[in-house]
Amino acid sequence: MAGSSVAILAVALVSLIACGDDSLGPDGTVRFATSFESGLDGFIPDGTDLDDPPVEWSVARSDEHADEGDWSVCLDLDNRNDAGKIWIERSFSLEPGAAYDVDVSYAFGTSDSGDFNLWTLIAGATATDPESVADLVFQGETGTGEDEDLGVVWLEKRHTFSATTSPNGELWVSLGVWGTWETHRTHYLDDVSIVFTPR
């Protein structure tokens, strides 16, 4: 049984090496980090509630603003239908049917000020690929905490989750925004670090 677990974790490490900076600790802890300097590092764009009526949106690397290095991920949503949700997501291959503590930290770039009409953060770890609002996890608001617009301000965000992998060993991590007010806004993600610790 122990040999089987080691083999599975070795496969997980090989899967992670293709994208981002990662390491496998002696206790089975898997670490992943990226600042998007050379690509999306395995993350893919996704969105939901963007078609009724259709709205313009994009999720892509950008060199307009960065917290670390020269690049970040830009989340741009013209939220005219007052419902759009956009995010990046990545599947990680871990031990099947196993429980993990998941620690997700990242830099979030926002110019949202004041206390009114702020959007909502998307950040979660789930056993299945998130496709609809019911699959997503929400984590507070997008505001800078300032009363006036100071331009893009980088905030350090951190969330912890307990999650169990799917029968084939998948855990999906998603990061993004839910447009909870009918307006056009742009946000940024950078310096993502994810730690999976077996429970």
pLDDT (0 to 100) of residue 26: 67
From residue 33, alpha-carbon distances to 4, 17, 19 in Å are: 26, 11, 9
Identity at 95, one-letter amino acid code: E
Closest to 12 (Cα-Cα) out of 90, 92, 73: 92
Identity at 128, one-letter amino acid code: T
Q: What is the CATH number of the domain that holds 106?
A: 2.60.120.260
* Separation of alpha carbons 32 and 13, rounded Å: 10
pLDDT (0 to 100) of residue 21: 53
* Separation of alpha carbons 79 and 49, rounded Å: 10
* Separation of alpha carbons 187 and 58, rounded Å: 11
Closest to 173 (Cα-Cα) out of 67, 41, 60, 49: 41
User: Would the pLDDT of 2 be above 80?
Assistant: no
Domain region containing 13: 2-198
Mean pLDDT for 162-184 is 97
User: Would the pLDDT of 173 be above 90?
Assistant: yes
* Separation of alpha carbons 125 and 9, rounded Å: 19
Contacts of 116 (CB under 8 A, 6+ apart): none
According to DSSP, the residues that pair with 10 across neighbouring strands are none
The number of folded domains in the chain is 1
pLDDT in tens, 89-146: 999 999 999 999 999 999 999 999 998 899 999 999 999 999 999 999 999 999 999 9
pLDDT (0 to 100) of residue 182: 95
Mean confidence (pLDDT) of the chain: 90
